[in-house]
Amino acid sequence: QKEVEQDPGPLSVPEGAIVSLNCTYSNSAFQYFMWYRQYSRKGPELLMYTYSSGNKEDGRFTAQVDKSSKYISLFIRDSQPSDSATYLCAMSFQGGSEKLVFGKGTKLTVNP
Amino acid sequence: NAGVTQTPKFRILKIGQSMTLQCTQDMNHNYMYWYRQDPGMGLKLIYYSVGAGITDKGEVPNGYNVSRSTTEDFPLRLELAAPSQTSVYFCASSYWGSPAVNEKLFFGSGTQLSVL
């Protein structure tokens, strides 16, 4: 079983839809969870950061962590064409950022 | 601020050739990282550095070398290029070097390398 699993998609939705992106993981020691957004031919940029379990909301974006199920989600409300990108989950446990483990990324297209 | 700057953006190498991918950051970050991203795969750490003069191997270091003579620069050297090194390479930097403090990695725009 891979340490972090993420469905690569692609995922195509109409503008205004609610999008749900997910990752599962096997290492119960993970406690820091991130979502990075990567536009085509660009480097990833941090979108959301969550420590341990719970929800975090930032505008149209909500990050959810369920440590009991080893499952994290990113919800995008009222999706826009500008949200079209690849979304990578990333997670880590105590230690340096060199231990960050990335998912494969899910490619999302929001159609106008 | 320019952030993290990578050069070149694209490069085609022949098998056995060598090259250096350049990475410069202007944010005074101590921590710098080199990742490769293969199609449909996550980012894999090649090498990282916690400060000038200090480097260490990541998950996939074979075939690569790095140096860190200044805080700003972290070049990645490919010796004897092989087709397996065809990938997109990203340099990143961070201030804290730890996810425990809401760490944010700043990435460059990448170098697309093909080895033929």
Per residue in B4-57, pLDDT tens? 999 999 999 999 999 999 999 999 999 999 999 998 888 999 999 999 999 999
How confident is residue B99, by pLDDT bands cut at 50, 70 and 90? confident
The answer to whether B99 contacts A97, with C-beta atoms less than 8 Å apart, is yes
Single-letter residue type at B75: P
The answer to whether A94 contacts B58, with C-beta atoms less than 8 Å apart, is no
Retrieve residue A19's tokens.
């999008």
pLDDT tops 70 at residue B94: yes
Per-residue pLDDT, B17: 97
Q: What are the E-state strand segments in A26-105?
A: 32-38, 45-51, 54-58, 61-66, 71-76, 85-92, 101-102
How many contacts does A have with B, using Cβ atoms within 8 A? 65
Please list every residue in chain B whose beta carbon sits closer than 8 Å to the beta carbon of residue A32.
99-100, 103
Determine contact: A4 vs chain B, CB below 8 A.
yes
pLDDT tops 70 at residue B1: no
Angle at A65 between CA B105 and CA A81, to 5 degrees: 65
pLDDT tops 90 at residue A90: yes
Please list every residue in chain A whose beta carbon sits closer than 8 Å to the beta carbon of residue B45.
98, 100
